[in-house]
Amino acid sequence: MKVIGFCGLPGSGKSTVLKAIEDLGTIITMGNVIRDEANHRNIAPSDENLGKIALELRKNYGPEIIAEKCVSLIKKLESNVFFIDGLRSMAEVIVFRKYWKFPLIATIVDEKIR
């Protein structure tokens, strides 16, 4: 199994790159963990609410909690290749590297283009 991370600033092209390669594997979007939690709590998934939930989860369970939930999801799915979208910190990278080699690809685009 291969698990590959994608990171970059908002508007840097992560989603564009992942869209181009989506047929090569399964995309795991870390933000969906937060959206699922909002849904579980019956909270509207506004940017503000999702931000509050993410901060709360990280405060209560540590900065790696979202990555750990993604690892659990990956272990349940049948795919040979996974692409991780939405990494926020080295703590999350370290979690994935406990299980896989986990190369990290950064998308970088000039601010004028974004």
| pLDDT for 44 | 95
Q: Is the pLDDT of residue 113 over 80?
A: no
Mean pLDDT value across residues 12-26? 93
pLDDT band at 114 (very low <50, low <70, confident <90, very high): low
pLDDT at 94 over 70: yes
- Would you list the domain boundaries of the chain? 2-32+64-106
* Max Cα distance, the chain (Å): 41
Least reliable range by pLDDT among 3-7, 10-14, 41-45: 10-14
H-run or E-run covering 56:
helix 47-61
SS (H, E, C) 14-36: HHHHHHHHHHHCEEEEHHHHHHH
Identify the CATH number of the domain defined by range 2-32+64-106. 3.40.50.300
